[in-house]
Amino acid sequence: MRLVELAHSKIKEFIRPGDLCIDATAGNGYDTLFLARQISPFGKVYAVDIQKLSIEQTVKRLNSHGFDEILRTFHGSHTKIRNLLDKSEHGKVSAIMFNLGYLPGGDHAITTTTEDTIFALNEAYVILRQGGVITALCYRGHSEGTKETKKVFELCKEKKWDVEVVEGSSNPQSPVLILIKKTRMD
Ligand SMILES: C[S@@+](CC[C@H](N)C(=O)[O-])C[C@H]1O[C@@H](n2cnc3c(N)ncnc32)[C@H](O)[C@@H]1O
C-alpha cells in the first residue's frame, strides 16, 4: 500500500461524519476529497495551500463530488491555520494532514519549507482535539525534504508527542509517514 493510502486508512480511525478537519497542503485536492468523504454530509474541511492553482483545483474537485457545502479554503501558508478557525473551534479538529514537498505535476520550486512546517505542526497540535491525529508525509529524496524530515522527528521527540512512524522502505531516502496522536491534553 502506498503511504498516501496508508495515511487515509489510519486517519479513518480518528474521524467521523460531522467532524472538523484540515488539509494543510491541499495540492491537487485528493486528500481534501478523502477528508470530505469521511465527514459528510455535515462537518467542515479546510483546504490550505500557498498556490492559487491548488486551491482552484481543490474547489473544482470537491464541487464535482458535491462537497462544496462542507469545503472552506484558504489561499496562504499553513503557518496561519490556527487563525483560520473560530476560537470556539480550537481543540476541536479531528485530523490535520500535511503531505509535504511539492505539487506533483506542478512547480517543483514551490515546496514546503522546514521552518514553516515546524511552526505549522506546533499550531496544528494546539487546535487538534484530544484523540485527534496529525499526519505528516515526509519526502527524504531531496535536500529540503531530508532536512525537513529530520526536524519533524526532532520536534516530536522534544515535545514528547505520541507518534507512529511508517517508512516507505528500508531505503533511507524513501518517504516516511509520521502520525502524531494527541493522546493527552497539553
Ligand atoms: C505534495 S503536495 C500536496 C498533495 C495534496 N495533498 C493532494 O492530495 O494532491 C504539497 C503542497 O504543499 C503546498 N505548500 C507548500 N508550502 C506550503 C505552505 N507553507 N502552506 C500551505 N501549503 C504549502 C504546495 O503548494 C503543494 O501544493
Please tell me if the CB atom of residue 81 comes closer than 6 angstroms to any atom of ligand 1: no
pLDDT of res. 186:
67
CA of 157 to the centre of ligand 1 (A): 24
Omega before 172 within 30 of 0, i.e. cis: no
* 186 CA distance to ligand 1 middle (Å): 27
User: Do 174 and 168 form a contact (C-beta atoms < 8 A)?
Assistant: yes
Which pLDDT value is given to residue 104?
85
28 lines ligand 1 (CB under 6 A): yes
pLDDT at residue 105 greater than cutoff 90: no
Domains and their CATH numbers in the chain: 3-181 (3.40.50.150)
* 49 pocket-lining for ligand 1 (C-beta < 6 Å): yes
Q: What is the reported pLDDT for 144?
A: 87
For residues 36-54, give the mean pLDDT: 97
Q: 48 in ligand 1 pocket by Cβ < 6 Å?
A: yes
- pLDDT digit string, tens, across residues 7-29: 999 999 999 999 999 999 999 99
What DSSP string runs through 118-135?
A: HHHHHHHHHHEEEEEEEE
CB-ligand 1 contact for 77 (6 Å cutoff): yes
Atom of ligand 1 nearest to the CA of 28: 9
pLDDT digit string, tens, across residues 63-88: 999 999 999 999 999 999 999 999 99
Global pTM reads: 0.97
Closest Cα partner for 100 from 3, 13, 184, 1?
A: 3
Helical segments of 40-169, H only: 52-64, 81-84, 114-127, 143-159
The closest alpha carbon to 116, from 90, 93, 98, belongs to 98
Write the pLDDT tens digit of every residue in 88-97: 999 999 999 9
Ligand 1 atom closest to Cα of 77? 20
For residue 82, give every residue at least 6 positions away whose Cβ sits within 8 Å of its Cβ, in sequence order, or none.
90, 123, 126, 127
- Smallest CA separation from ligand 1 atom 21, residue: 49
Out of 32, 112, 113, 119, give the residue to mutate to test ligand 1, the one with the largest number of ligand atoms within 8 Å of its CB.
112
Is the minimum distance from the CB of 73 to ligand 1 under 6 angstroms? no
| Nearest atom in ligand 1 to 113's CA | 16
pLDDT in tens, 129-146: 999 999 999 999 888 899
